Structure 1
Amino acid sequence: MTKTTGAEPLHTRRPSRQGSVEQRSYRPWPLALAALILIVLAIPGALLVAPGFRGPDAPAPAPTAPAWQQAPATLSAPQVLAPLQPAAPVPGQAAVTAQVDPVLKADGGGTFTGMVQDALTGQVLFDRGGAQSRVPASNLKLLTAVAALRTLGPDHRFTTKVVQGPAPGQVVLVGGGDVLLGAAESQPEQVMGHAGLATLAAATVHTLQASGATGEIKVLVDDSLFTGPALNPNWQSGDVEAGEIAPLYPLALNSARFDPAVTTGPRPQDSAMAAAQEFAARLRTAGAGAGLAVAAAVDRSPGASQANAALLAAADSATVAEQVNLMLQVSDNYLAETMGRMAAVATGRPGSNDGATAALAAEVPAAGISPDAMNLVDVCGLAMGNQVSARQFAEAVRAITTGTDTRLRAALDGFPVGGLTGTLDTRYGDATTSGGAGLVRAKTGTLNTVLALSGYVVDADGRLLVFSFLGNGLTPGAAGNKEALDRAATALAGCGCR
């Protein structure tokens, strides 16, 4: 008899072959699939909670600034124009003429003369009637600049003074040649308004207070520094009426303008009295708190102030160099005539129109400029009776740029720059002249039938050239005439004319 246990003997377990296959081949796959799904679902959750375990992310590194924004390790060398080299090639006359001659053509009537020279040697590179005397218009201011710098000096200043009057209670405003006075406080950084009447009045009140002055103050004006006619008889009445010029006095506000920002239209016909009236008004305001009253009326001094009259206050103008540069930049006729008369006074001549033209006539040859056939009837170029040649203007520019009298270098900043400054700021903008923009530096001249351009330029080879082009008898308003001048100067700027 066989012994048994609670379990079935091994030899009696015989599961069917089909059941055995289902257990070994099918059941593991659902488990694997479920595990895979759990893993896939767990990944996003893990990513969400992981930062809480590992802390905040490290900050991203700051982007590197581009080189041009970074502090320099060393200072770079200053970038300046290199000095002109005397070894730079001098253009050939035939080549320069071939460039300039075709473009220097009048639009309608009239003709152009011209002269181009090498600045260092004086060698003539272009000559079309360069010795012919012509009406120069405002190019004449170049000669006025030469005379003023030679006789007065670049650093000279004109002084407007207030002195004790001839009778008690009187003060005298004495004109010393500053016609760029401002009405308000002095502006030391400016040329126009460098000396201000408000500042001068305040200084006068301070001195009067210190001396114990009381009661009413009467203002007189002394404009005796200038003599002769205040208006040049050679100026056309239409130009005076249009405000191109005004009667000349040795003191004025805003170069004899009502408003320094308005440079056309009517002007004060008595700039000395206008300045004195403004001074009296400023003195009245400044003296109100000091117990000083100022009479409403302003009179002229019965004569020149005494040299020993007690000085109450004084104000100095901008330098002659600064004023010359302003005169050239904006072509200020009033300032030019003043400079001529002050040059006359500096050389012992009367402060008149005749004295001014005589001073120019004397200083021109002294500066190395030929005076042959030159005729001067004013010093601003407004009169049609002036006669100067292109050669003489080229020589004047040579004297300023490379001459032996270094005082004349002070005028260089006054030359307008093509397309950028002064009376050339709106020119050199088209395709035929843009090559001269920023390179041509020249004084302009404009009358009804006259156009002129005299200045200097560095050519493509680095050679300094001086030039003068004068047009007379031109058709008024013809646009092509200014273009002809600008094209000629542009041709010189781009010239590698060997």
Structure 2
Amino acid sequence: MKLRVLGAVVAVAAGFSLTSSGGAVAVGNEALTADLDAILADNALKGADVGVTVRDANSGEVIYTRQGAKRSQVASNLKLLTTAAAMDLLGPDYRWKTELLTSGTRSGATLNGDVVLRGGGDPTMSRVRYQALADALKASGVTTVNGSLVVDDKKFDSNPLGPGWAWEDVPFSYSAETSALTLSPDAKFSAGTVVVRVKPGATTGAPVVVTTEPSNDHVQIVSTATTNGNAGITVQREQGTNRILVSGSTWAEVTALTTVKDPTGLVTSVFQKALQANGITVTGGVKRQEAPAGAAVLATDTSMKLSELMVPLLKDSNNMLAEVLVKTAGKSFGNGVNQLSTKWAGLGVDPNVVEVFDGSGLSRYDQFSPDDLTSVLIKAKTKPWFSAWQASLPVAGVDGTLVSRMKNTPAAGNVKAKSGSLTGISGLSGYVKTAAGRDLVFSVVQNNYVLFNNPKNIEDRVAVRLASDGGSSIAPQIQSVPQQRKAPEQDRAKVPAQERFDVECSWIGTC
């Protein structure tokens, strides 16, 4: 892990100079300053740490800043930096490969030697695409492998979880393990997970029927759930195991995502089933090791371009896609961040005044500032990949994690921004065009807010004010709506999804 310098340093972005203090600083717009000051004076922010920076998107001129240089946790706003640096380092046309290889020899329908499934880190691989690799082996005429199935996930190191991730999040789909051989069971590319499908039994009181997609022998379902009442179904993986516990009751079909321990093992099970479906017998069992040098390629699956992957990554705030970028850059979390950091200066970020430990922002060790986030947004405009990258950001009131936010306001269809959510942390950073036609970038980062105040209200009111001319057009957004306080010990998996502000809405299926 590269050691970065911390301390009371004012961030000086490449090409821009910002001045920030504990109070607000604004330039030439008293009405805007007064409105933003009023929003940030909301009682919901009492005791919280809030940083705000607003700048001209073209010149970099500071329009408004309050604690803009102060480092804090920015949650998924960090994906702006990760994706921009990856587009620079790997290139927008980068693709991942998953290969089937062998160093064996053919004798009729028999392959004498091992067959190797080698992962390149493609997080979008699916059961269907692994099946296609098995189909290609069958199409070549092989029906027997007189050797082993070798699975090679050595493209990445063996540490599957990022530094500073919360241990209690590990069973949830937004905190899955990262592996060079992985699988996504859904269209949103939830890598490292399986879909658990719960169907009611034939009669009242009967056990429910639980299946997984894809079908596999890697996880074990342990169900006490019944066909009775509407108490609801809880699906959660037991810590440190692949036992998936299903409890509760239901009359209706329910689906849920849960992570798996060791995604390589899941892929191995799925690929074995694909070989069996083709009538291919492997005599020597399974080995985990690196493919032998000089092995011949039998079949290859190639992913979509990196620029195309930006859409699900940023629109849905997909953590696992972001972490794949880090490990693709440098095999491990530490070296991957260091490799990406070679591109930070070109994005207006000094590597010596920030702390970054992962790609998604899940790490509680990450420290970044609103000033730096706006620098990334400004510098990205100068890059050849900018159009595709900006088009991948959620649009207020239209799609992604902002689909339900700022509807019927001047920000709707206008604000293109990355949201971020963790317990006690919320942020929104992106682009907005004012009523007068001026292009701005902005970043609002909130830390240490209390859970029964919705922090998204503050961010939305700032964004709506920037998109409007003030006055009555922002009135509907001015009132905060406190939520019912939850007991600290309450199981987060049982808190109604629509009441959770500590995760991105896309992670729990509410947007």
Which digits, 9 at most, give the CA deviation of each residue in 1:246-300, with x for residues without a partner? Answer: 22211211111213899965311111221122122112212x2xxx324595331
- Aligned match for 1:145, one of 64, 73, 83: 83
Match of 2:192 in 1: 256
Structure 1 position 181 matched with structure 2 position 125:
yes
- Aligned match for 2:385, one of 394, 402, 407: 407
Task: List alignment gaps of at least 5 residues for structure 1.
Answer: 1-90, 185-195, 345-350
Alpha-carbon distance in structure 2 between the residues aligned to 1:330 and 1:493? 23
TM-score for the superposition, normalised by structure 1: 0.71
CA 1:117–1:206 in structure 2 vs 1: closer, same or farther (change >3 Å)?
same
| Higher share in helix | 1
Alpha-carbon distance in structure 2 between the residues aligned to 1:234 and 1:407? 31
CA 1:238–1:409 in structure 2 vs 1: closer, same or farther (change >3 Å)?
same
Any conservation in 2 of the 1:150–1:408 contact (CA below 8 Å)?
no
Alpha-carbon distance in structure 1 between the residues aligned to 2:76 and 2:412? 21
Structure 1 position 202 matched with structure 2 position 154:
no
CA 1:258–1:100 in structure 2 vs 1: closer, same or farther (change >3 Å)?
same
Any conservation in 2 of the 1:228–1:353 contact (CA below 8 Å)?
no
Any conservation in 2 of the 1:153–1:320 contact (CA below 8 Å)?
yes
Any conservation in 2 of the 1:149–1:408 contact (CA below 8 Å)?
no
> Residues 18-57 of structure 1 correspond to what in structure 2 (within 5 A)?
none
Alpha-carbon distance in structure 2 between the residues aligned to 1:327 and 1:217? 39
| Higher share in strand | 2
Match of 2:378 in 1: 398
Match of 2:468 in 1: 494
Match of 1:444 in 2: 419
Q: Which amino acid aligns with 1:435?
A: P
Any conservation in 2 of the 1:446–1:452 contact (CA below 8 Å)?
yes
Match of 2:343 in 1: 363
Alpha-carbon distance in structure 1 between the residues aligned to 2:348 and 2:356? 17
1:153 alignment partner, SS class: coil
Any conservation in 2 of the 1:329–1:421 contact (CA below 8 Å)?
yes
Which digits, 9 at most, give the CA deviation of each residue in 1:22-59, with x for residues without a partner? Answer: xxxxxxxxxxxxxxxxxxxxxxxxxxxxxxxxxxxxxx
Q: Which amino acid aligns with 2:59?
A: T
Structure 1 position 231 matched with structure 2 position 161:
yes
Which one is further off, 124-133 or 257-266?
Answer: 257-266
User: What is the Cα deviation at residue 306 of structure 1?
Assistant: 3.2
Which digits, 9 at most, give the CA deviation of each residue in 1:386-405, with x for residues without a partner? Answer: 100001000111122x22x2
Any conservation in 1 of the 2:102–2:295 contact (CA below 8 Å)?
yes
Structure 1 position 484 matched with structure 2 position 458:
yes
Structure with higher Rg: it is: 1
- Aligned match for 2:317, one of 327, 331, 337: 331
Match of 2:353 in 1: 373
Structure 1 position 422 matched with structure 2 position 394:
no
Any conservation in 1 of the 2:75–2:427 contact (CA below 8 Å)?
yes
User: What is the Cα deviation at residue 240 of structure 1?
Assistant: 1.2
* Count of aligned residue pairs for this structure pair: 376
- Aligned match for 2:149, one of 207, 219, 240: 219
Match of 1:277 in 2: 269
Any conservation in 2 of the 1:96–1:125 contact (CA below 8 Å)?
no
Match of 1:466 in 2: 441
Which digits, 9 at most, give the CA deviation of each residue in 1:150-183, with x for residues without a partner? Answer: 1111111101001005793421110111011111
User: What is the Cα deviation at residue 314 of structure 1?
Assistant: 0.3
Report % sequence identity.
32
Alpha-carbon distance in structure 2 between the residues aligned to 1:466 and 1:440? 10
1:221 alignment partner, SS class: strand
User: What is the Cα deviation at residue 305 of structure 1?
Assistant: 1.6
- Aligned match for 1:385, one of 360, 365, 378: 365
2:174 alignment partner, SS class: coil
Alpha-carbon distance in structure 1 between the residues aligned to 2:284 and 2:412? 53
Match of 1:352 in 2: 332
Any conservation in 2 of the 1:242–1:264 contact (CA below 8 Å)?
no
TM-score for the superposition, normalised by structure 2: 0.69
Which digits, 9 at most, give the CA deviation of each residue in 1:452-490, with x for residues without a partner? Answer: 0000011112221111010011112412x2111001001
Q: Which amino acid aligns with 1:452?
A: G
Q: Indicate the RMSD between aligned Cα atoms, in angstroms.
A: 2.6
